[in-house]
Amino acid sequence: MRPAVEAEKLGIPAVVVTTTGFTTIARAAAKAEGMSALRVAEYPGAVGVHAEALVEKNVEEVLFGRIVDELTRPVKAGAAQAAAAAGKPDAIVFEGTFDEINAYFREREWTDNLPIIPPTPERVAEFLKHTRRPPDQAIAVLAQANLEATPRNIAANAVMAGCRPETMPLLIAAVEAIADNNYNLNNIGSTWGVLPFLLIGGPAIQKMGIENGAHMISRGANPAIGRAFGMIIRNIAGYKLGRNYMGTFGYPLNFTIAENDAECPWEPYRVEHGFDRNDSTVTACGTVTWGWPPAIYGTPDKTAAQTALEFLSIEVTKKPCLARLAEQGAKGFRDMITIMIAPPVAKSLAAAGHSKQDIRNYIYEHAKVPYRELEFLMKYGHSEAFTIPDAVARGIYPEEYLKEKPDGMVRVLPNPDVINIVVCGDPNRNRVMVLWGGYVNPVTRKIELPSA
């Protein structure tokens, strides 16, 4: 899509070929890149499962004509989308009962299809008391809708989600994080089902009632913060289900996790990334699954620490698209792995002398799959089928992969630093969990807490 946008900007007619269901997301992504009238030719159906004869028939009888039509028509400037509410940013969009308000908001896809708390001016004002920023100051412009995120509309979404007013600085920082180009917000609409989530660190955890122990994503302020984050992505970034947010099987609710400094035997995540221990931070992350949390046990032949290292290496290889995980070189790498380690397991690893970097290095070296398995995933799990030798020739995989064919084992990680380690969860349980990411990179911002 982006090459076509750049070609059009240079005055060269270009058309994007999509399949059924992807035309809307292509137009939305183009709009985020400054092109509001993209030429699109849609192939009918899911080409990946069509027989070769059907593909040829559809290309000859349908797609080719659409490509010609698009390339030979003049591009018209798209009409500006009508504002949700006319007048001032603080205009009342609807008045009615609780049920009427919920129905109105749901019909306009402003909710997550669960009941919301009406964002009245009075409720929004309570949130605005917790930031020094003017209510209508632009915090960021969020792709794909290219709408301004302001304290006022951030607060409105937070009210709808049931957040506490004191979480306002956290949500502002979260918006700044997802607006960073490194996060790659413009590409979360994949059919993989990329689910943004938040990692919180520092004194804000206690001040805001955020949980970092047992059942953390389901307790305290965490569910509402995660829900507000999802509302912001829906209503300000403009991701709408089935239009430009295309998860094949849908999405769970966005969630929030928090690191546990008191139980962490290493430097917390924020300190690893250049922040002071006394800082409060929010990291925008992403995952394509909520995984299985294996229990870690020591036995006479293996310590608990060694078992944990081996378990984590195996868990990393269960990532759905290993062929993508291993990508590096010329194509770059947009992916992340978040490993949540319960305090007892973290302490056993630290007691055995392992630092976080030691753990990352071990997983990098030992997370391997059979050459044949990776090549199968590349050939049949990608829209563009290619082999490992093809990938090495393109600079996607390192040459060392060729030494292992056909019966050897190959690494699945491009480098150790794609792994993010967070100590959290039940302080009395011996479990770990791997969250496999897709398309996004973690971005951290400091939470600017108002002075007492």
279 in a structural domain: no
Predicted pLDDT at 80: 37
In a domain, 91, yes or no: no
DSSP, res 414: S
* C-alpha distances in Å from residue 108, one per residue of 111, 112, 176, 235, 238: 8, 11, 26, 10, 12
Could you tell me if 188 and 312 lie in one domain?
no
Q: Where is average pLDDT lowest: 152-156, 241-245, 308-312, 440-444?
A: 241-245
Contact 340, 435 (CB under 8 A): yes
In terms of domains, do 266 and 318 share one? no
- pLDDT of 149 strictly over 90: yes
Name the pLDDT band for 85 (thresholds 50, 70, 90). Answer: very low
CA atoms 140, 240, 338, 450: torsion sign: positive
Domain housing 58: 2-72
> How many whole angstroms separate alpha carbon 187 and alpha carbon 189?
6
Domain boundary among 57, 72, 87: 72
pLDDT at 76: 59
Residue with the two structure tokens 């984590």 = 312
Helix 168-179 with 222-235: angle, nearest 10 deg: 50
Amino acid at 143: A
> 238 and 133 in one domain?
yes
Q: How far apart are CA 376 and CA 113, in angstroms?
A: 39
Per-residue pLDDT at 1? 64
3-state SS assignment for residue 108: coil
Q: Are 141 and 230 in the same domain? A: yes
Question: Would you say residue 356 has pLDDT above 60?
Answer: yes
CA atoms within 13 A on the CB side of 315: 27
The answer to whether residues 125 and 62 belong to one domain is no
Q: 143 lies in a domain?
A: yes
Query: What's residue 79's pLDDT?
Result: 38
The per-residue pLDDT for range 386-406, each reduced to its tens digit, is 788 888 888 777 888 888 778
pLDDT digits (tens, 9 = 90+) for 15-65: 989 888 778 777 777 776 767 778 898 888 887 778 888 888 888 888 888
Residues 44 and 139 in one domain: no
**189 in the same domain as 65:** no
Residue 18, beta-bridge partner list = 42
Q: How far apart are CA 114 and CA 294, in angstroms?
A: 32
Helix boundaries (H) for 299-406:
304-316, 322-325, 343-351, 356-366, 371-380, 388-393
Confidence of residue 291 (pLDDT cuts 50, 70, 90): confident
Is there a contact between 392 and 375 (Cβ–Cβ < 8 Å)?
no
Do 104 and 66 have their domain in common? Answer: no
For residues 404 and 149, the model is more confident at 149
Domain count, the chain: 3
Indicate if 172 and 247 belong to the same structural domain.
yes
Evaluate whether 37 touches 13 at the Cβ level (below 8 Å).
no
Instruction: Give a yes or no: residue 189 inside a domain.
Output: yes
pLDDT one-digit tens code per residue, 215-268 = 999 999 999 999 999 999 999 999 999 889 999 899 999 999 999 999 999 999
At residue 78 the predicted structure's pLDDT band, cuts being 50, 70 and 90, is: very low
Q: Is residue 84's pLDDT more than 70?
A: no
Q: Could you give the angle at the alpha carbon of 369 between the alpha carbons of 300 and 419, nearest 5°?
A: 80
Amino acid identity of residue 31, one-letter, is K
Residue 57: count other Cβ atoms within 10 Å of its Cβ. 13
% of the chain at pLDDT higher than 90: 58
Between CA 345 and CA 306 the distance in angstroms is 10
| Predicted pLDDT at 299 | 87
Residues 115 and 54 in one domain: no
Residue 147 has pLDDT above 70, yes or no: yes
Q: Is residue 264 part of a domain?
A: yes
By DSSP bridging, strand 281-287 and strand 195-201 are antiparallel
Residue pLDDT, tens place only, 161-196: 999 999 999 999 999 999 999 999 998 998 889 999
In a domain, 431, yes or no: yes
308: in domain: yes
pLDDT tens digits, residue range 91-118? 899 999 999 999 999 999 999 999 999 9
Residue 447 in any domain: the answer is no
Mean pLDDT across the stretch 84-91? 64
Cα–Cα distance for residue pair 228/233, rounded to 1 Å: 9
Helix and strand element counts for the chain (H, E): 17, 13
Taken in order 156, 157, 162, 167, is the CA torsion positive or negative?
negative
Do 333 and 245 sit in the same domain of this protein? no
Q: Are residues 35 and 105 in the same domain?
A: no
